[in-house]
Structure 1
Amino acid sequence: MKWMKTFLALLGVSLFSIVGPSAAAPLRLASHQAVYDLKLDELKENSGIEAVRGRIVLKVEQQCDGLIVNQRMVLEMINFEGNVVVSDYNQSTWEDNAGRMMRFDMSNMLNGQLIEKYSGVAEHRENGLLVQFSEPSIDDMELAADVIFPGEHTRQLLKAAATGRHLLSAKVYDGNGEDGLSDTLAVIGKAQALLEPREVEEKLRGKTYWPLQISFFDLRQQQTEPDYRIGMKIFDNGVATDLHLDYSDFSLRGNVSDLTLLAAEKCS
């Protein structure tokens, strides 16, 4: 189920024509915890699905030396026979602030049964990006030097949006095992200010955001249509609201049901 991507990977895209990680001082994202309630928006023809609902819980911790992201996505899907499938996806990552290394742990369970689990380290070397897996015992992956990580994606997105760029593409490895590499194309809308927030989004009042849509393509196939699309409002501190997850069988709307801004770590 490749579409069960990590949320931060869906959020971020590289927005400059860079080769490898940026040498500039990294933009610091807001440490926060957000809960998104997912509700069915549209069922596609011949999907075989009758109902879908779910929740995403995301915790982002911007530390002095790196970025920690813990995320969980649970989906409950009911088919036309009335059978229920529950997917429970978890991932934890740590990225250094220079965007050179990422540690990752992910697991995905269907109806309580573990179907995939990956742990490892991805690191930029002299000739490209090397992904080494500690679990399972599989061969290393060698990726191109211009592949970057989700946290760096998000930082580059905010920098590009602030300079008025609207159409950007990048390759990203998000830690989802052997299927973790995607090509992405992002469309960024015009900057707006949140003047009338919902109560749960009051902490974002007055902040600048950009409408954003990201299309994801499988690099192993020559395709003109994306595997899926993700839409959202992305704020200048890295917080996202108003999700729209558009997959081949269905689409979902995700609204923030809880948002907590966490204290920033003090750095020298």
Structure 2
Amino acid sequence: MIIKTAQLKRSVDLMTDKIAYRLSILFSLFGLFAVVAPALSHAGGVALASHRAVYDLTLKEFHRDGGIEDVRGRIVMEVENSCEGVLMNQRMLVELLNISGDSMTSDYHLSTWEDRAGQLMRFTMSNVLNGRTIENYDGVANLGSAGGSVTFSEDGADRLDLPEGVIFPTGHTREILKSAKAGKNLLSAKIYDGNGVNGLFDTLTVIGKSGKSDSTLLKDRDMGNLPYWPVQMSYFDLSAQSNEPEFEVGLKMFENGVASDLVLKYEDFSLNGSLVQLDILDTAGCGN
């Protein structure tokens, strides 16, 4: 089949915008591992680590008709626990090469702060594609007994209402770890993750049997005997009411909040994410 150059460029541009959006959503998933340590410790769990993690992204597989030839990138995430809440600063830089040989770069930033009670989240996010800002949001999300709301600082951005039962990424992590330790293998939850007007998802998490890593990097961080659970998370668009997920993420979730061995699955391609650097940071002690 022969496709005209202009048609191909438009198709790839549209596809790249969609991919960049999906890539941006991915980064918010790392908020799942930034849980306030004192809260889990009081519940009988292991105190989770403040840390800085770096992941290298490489192409795992792709569909030839998707317009993508290669993908590579890097994720840097820093988590800082405090007595009041948890601060996360995240960056994801991805370069995509299309079948015509042109490269496209997505540069995504997300900064969030969640309070210890899991009722308040402040967030700032931006996504830049080839030097063009395609998303930029700054706002506050609040949760209550009958749902919640998200307000944005940008002019013209409508308030987003959150349905009853929605949780933030920290609350989601608590539920995943609670389910894993109880031997449960399924968890369904609605999440708002801070990604602007598109941050509300329904999720299904499948949890496997615990294991221990033989990674030299993790052993050097005293994590050789720390248990992890294989986790597969599927994200669904609540408005579409589809049985097919928007994207899926597989990983190993360690008891201290560190993630490794990522597999990021999208419609047109999937990525491997290898943990290449890990720094465990000091966490302040908190009185009761």
Same fold flag (TM > 0.5): yes
Shift, 1:111, TM fit: 1.1
- Asked if 1:115 corresponds to 2:134, the answer is yes
Equivalent AA in structure 2 for residue 143 of structure 1: L
- Alpha-carbon distance in structure 1 between the residues aligned to 2:99 and 2:219: 36
Alignment check: 8 A CA contact 1:188 1:212 kept: yes
Choose from 210, 217, 220 the match for 1:202. 220
Going from structure 1 to structure 2, the CA distance change for 1:126 and 1:166 (only over 3 Å counts) comes to closer
Aligned to 2:176: 157
- Alpha-carbon distance in structure 2 between the residues aligned to 1:9 and 1:199: 22
Shift, 1:6, TM fit: 4.6
Alignment check: 8 A CA contact 2:96 2:103 kept: yes
Shift, 1:80, TM fit: 1.0
Alignment check: 8 A CA contact 1:227 1:247 kept: yes
TM alignment of 1:169-208, pairs within 5 A: 169-194=188-213, 196-199=214-217, 202-203=220-221, 204-208=223-227
Shift, 1:192, TM fit: 1.1
- Asked if 1:5 corresponds to 2:25, the answer is yes
Choose from 119, 133, 143 the match for 1:100. 119
- Alpha-carbon distance in structure 2 between the residues aligned to 1:106 and 1:48: 27
SS at 2:215 equivalent: coil
Structure having the larger proportion of residues in helix: 2
Deviations 1:119-141 (A, max 9, x none): 00000135321101012431111
Alignment check: 8 A CA contact 2:58 2:272 kept: yes
- Alpha-carbon distance in structure 1 between the residues aligned to 2:184 and 2:155: 40
Shift, 1:8, TM fit: 4.5
- Asked if 1:233 corresponds to 2:252, the answer is yes
- Alpha-carbon distance in structure 2 between the residues aligned to 1:8 and 1:240: 13
Identity among equivalent positions (%) equals: 48
TM alignment of 1:1-268, pairs within 5 A: 1=18, 2-3=21-22, 4-9=24-29, 12=32, 28-194=47-213, 196-199=214-217, 202-203=220-221, 204-268=223-287
Shift, 1:11, TM fit: 6.3
Shift, 1:114, TM fit: 1.2
Shift, 1:51, TM fit: 0.7
Structure number with greater Rg is 2
- Alpha-carbon distance in structure 2 between the residues aligned to 1:92 and 1:131: 16
Q: Unaligned stretches of 5+ in structure 1?
A: 14-21
Shift, 1:200, TM fit: 5.6
TM-score, normalising length: structure 1: 0.91
Alignment check: 8 A CA contact 2:28 2:194 kept: no
Shift, 1:224, TM fit: 1.3
SS at 1:158 equivalent: helix
Aligned to 1:17: none
Shift, 1:77, TM fit: 0.3
- Alpha-carbon distance in structure 2 between the residues aligned to 1:181 and 1:154: 16
- Alpha-carbon distance in structure 2 between the residues aligned to 1:66 and 1:11: 13
TM-score, normalising length: structure 2: 0.85
Please identify runs of 4+ aligned residues in structure 1 that moved more than 6 A: none
**RCO comparison, higher one (Cα < 8 Å, 6+):** 1
- Alpha-carbon distance in structure 2 between the residues aligned to 1:150 and 1:199: 26
Q: Unaligned stretches of 5+ in structure 2?
A: 1-17, 34-38
Shift, 1:198, TM fit: 2.6
Alignment check: 8 A CA contact 2:218 2:224 kept: no
Task: Give the total of aligned pairs.
Answer: 259
